[in-house]
């Protein structure tokens, strides 16, 4: 196999690494941010990373199913966002607060 230049020859690996980076960033966001909404956004970021991975596999494996999955994931992500935001709204309505550090009553 001839030596391939990783800068010029873009392959599956590139997309996957990109997805991994995005996934990690999303994860870092979930771990570090305090705002509930931002947390939800970070999760969306993770799901987007997953989507990239699916589509990349789909292309490089010549398998259309990956795209179907992206389709499903997107829908569910939207649904999750809806639920999450509804939850956030209901919490905000009640507590006027979306900083998750406020919600530490359950512990021990």
Partner 1 sequence: MSHQALIAILLLSPFVGFLLNGLRYRSQNYVLAGSIATGAVFVSFICSVMLMMDLIAAPADQRRLTANFFEWIAVGGFKVNAGFVVDQISSIMILIITGVGSLIHLFSIGYMHHDKGVTKYFAYLNLFVFNMLILVLGDSLLTMFVGWEGVGLCSYLLIGFWFSDAAKAAAGMKAFITNRVGDAAFIIGMFILFFSFGTLNMYELNALAPTTVEASWLGAATLGTLMLFIGATGKSAQVPLYVWLPDAMAGPTPVSALIHAATMVTAGVYMIVRLNPMFVAAPNTMMIVAIVGAITAVMAATIGLTQYDIKKILAYSTVSQLGYMFLAVGVGAFGAGMMHLMTHAFFKALMFLGSGSVIHAMEGEQDTRLMGGLKKYLPITHFTFLMGWLAIIGFPLFSGFFSKDEILWQSFASPRGSVFLWVAGAIGATLTAFYMTRLMALTFWGKSRVPKEVHPHESPVIMTIPLIVLAILSVVGGFIGVPHLIGEYLGHIPNYWAEWLAPVIKTLPEAAAPHTATQEWALMTTSVTLALISAFVAYRIYTSGKGTNEAIAKAFGPVYNVVNNKYFVDEAYFGGIINPLVKQSQNLWMYIDVNFIDKTTHVISDMTKGAGSLARSFQTGNMQQYAMYIGLGVVVVLTFVLMR
Partner 2 sequence: MTDAILFWFLALVTVCAGLSVILMSNPIYSALSLAMTMVGVSALFVTLGAYFIAGVQLIVYAGAVMVLFVMVLMLFDLKHEIQAFTRGKITGAIKIASVGILAGLVVGAITLGTKAIEAAKATEAVAGKTYDNNTMSLAQNLFLQNVFGFEALGVLLLVIAVGTVALSRSRGGTHARD
Partner 3 sequence: MNITVGLTDVLLASPLIVLFLFSLIPLTIKTLRGNSEQNPAATIVIALIGLGLTAGLLLVFGGSDKTAFNNQLLFDGLTQWSALLAIIASAGALVMMYENPATRGKQFSELIFLALNSVLGMIILVAAVNLITVFIGLELMSLSLYLMIAMSHEQKISKEAAMKYFVLGSFASAIFLYGVSFVFGSSGSVNITDFMQSAATLVKTNKLFLFGIVFVILGFCFKVSIAPFHAWAPDVYQGAPTPVTSFMATAVKAVSFAAFLRVIATQTLVGSQNLFDVMQWLAVITMTVGNVAAIMQNNFKRMLAYSSVAHSGYLLVGLITSGISQNSAYSASSVMFYLFAYSIMTLGAFAVVSLIERSENSVIGTDDLAGFAKNQPALAMCLTIFMLSLAGIPPALGFFGKFYLFSAAVSEGLLWLALWGVLNSVISVYYYLRPIVVMYMKDGEADVADHSLHATTVTVYVCAFIIILVGLFSGPLFDLVEKSLG
Return the closest-CA partner of residue 76 out of 51, 39, 42. 51
The answer to whether 68 contacts partner 3 (rule: CB under 8 A) is yes
The answer to whether 4 contacts partner 2 (rule: CB under 8 A) is no
- Using the structure block, give the residue that is written with the tokens 């992206």: 70
The answer to whether 96 contacts partner 1 (rule: CB under 8 A) is no
Site for partner 1 in 22-81 (CB under 8 A): 27, 30-32, 34
Query: What's the start-to-end Cα distance of the chain, in Å?
Result: 57
The answer to whether 103 contacts partner 2 (rule: CB under 8 A) is no
Binding string, residues 7-46; x marks residues near partner 2 by CB under 8 A: xxxxxxxxxxxx-xxxxxxxxxx-xxxxx-xx-xxx-xx-
The answer to whether 104 contacts partner 1 (rule: CB under 8 A) is yes
Contacts (Cβ under 8 Å, ≥6 apart) of 9: none
What token pair was written down for 94? 């009640």
């Amino acid at each position: 196999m001839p030596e391939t230049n990783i800068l010029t020859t873009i392959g599956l690996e590139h997309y996957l690494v990109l997805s991994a980076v995005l996934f990690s960033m999303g994860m870092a966001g979930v771990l570090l941010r305090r705002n509930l909404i931002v947390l939800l956004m970070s999760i969306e970021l993770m799901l987007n990373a997953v989507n990239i991975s699916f589509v990349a596999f789909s292309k490089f494996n010549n398998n259309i199913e990956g795209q179907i999955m992206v389709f499903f994931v997107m829908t569910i992500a939207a649904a999750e966002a809806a639920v999450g935001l509804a939850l956030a709204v209901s919490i905000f309505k009640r507590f006027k607060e979306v900083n998750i550090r406020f919600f530490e009553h359950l512990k021990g």
